Amino acid sequence: MAKALPYTDGDLVAVPLREGCGYAVGLITAHDRRGGVIGYFFNQRFEEPPSIEVAGAFGIADVVRVMRFGDLGLIKGGWSVLGKHPEWARCEWPIPVFGRREPTGRAFKVIYSSDDLRGPEREEVITDDECDLLPRDALSGSGAVERVLTHLLGHDVGS
């Protein structure tokens, strides 16, 4: 029997920012039970992990980044689960379409299935302009997510 994960879809999580810069909040919107997770991350930084009431007030308009990432930060306990979003509804937080560019310059729309978030279900050629409007397709480790959010929320850090 598979070990229960410490998180599930609809959970709000506190992500520690680098250099003691506080915490970001994310919403787990999909996971595949194999370590692949999609999260929507919000545009506010906190000195301490916020309460579920504060974090649960975030909506889609507050999203600063959508990312595909591994769950090591959640499994090892560096990221804390705050609880289920009080108004969680899967239909309001879909698995987004991501954008990817090849070194040749061709651009693709990348579509994932909730069954396996580690690799795409399919890809379709799109224009550069369309690709620019989509979240970047990349699988990040928890440390990379922390660095990106630290930068986005107002504090530059080194690699």
Question: Mean pLDDT throughout 108-132?
Answer: 92
Helix (H) or strand (E) holding 144: helix 142-152
Question: Mean pLDDT throughout 10-29?
Answer: 96
CA–CA dist 146, 57 (Å, integer): 22
Question: Residue 88: pLDDT above 80?
Answer: yes
For residue 86, give Cα distances in angstroms to 10, 42, 153: 9, 16, 24
- pLDDT tens digits, one per residue of 123-153: 999 999 999 999 999 999 999 999 999 999 9
Q: Rounded to two decimals, what is the model's pTM? A: 0.91
- pLDDT tens digits, one per residue of 45-74: 999 999 999 999 999 999 999 999 999 999
Question: Residue 104: pLDDT above 80?
Answer: yes
Question: Residue 30: pLDDT above 50?
Answer: yes
pLDDT of residue 157: 52
- Residue 45: other Cβ atoms inside 10 A: 17
- pLDDT tens digits, one per residue of 5-19: 899 999 999 999 998
Mean pLDDT of the chain: 92
Give just the sign of the alpha carbon dihedral 22, 27, 32, 38. Answer: negative
pLDDT of residue 159: 43
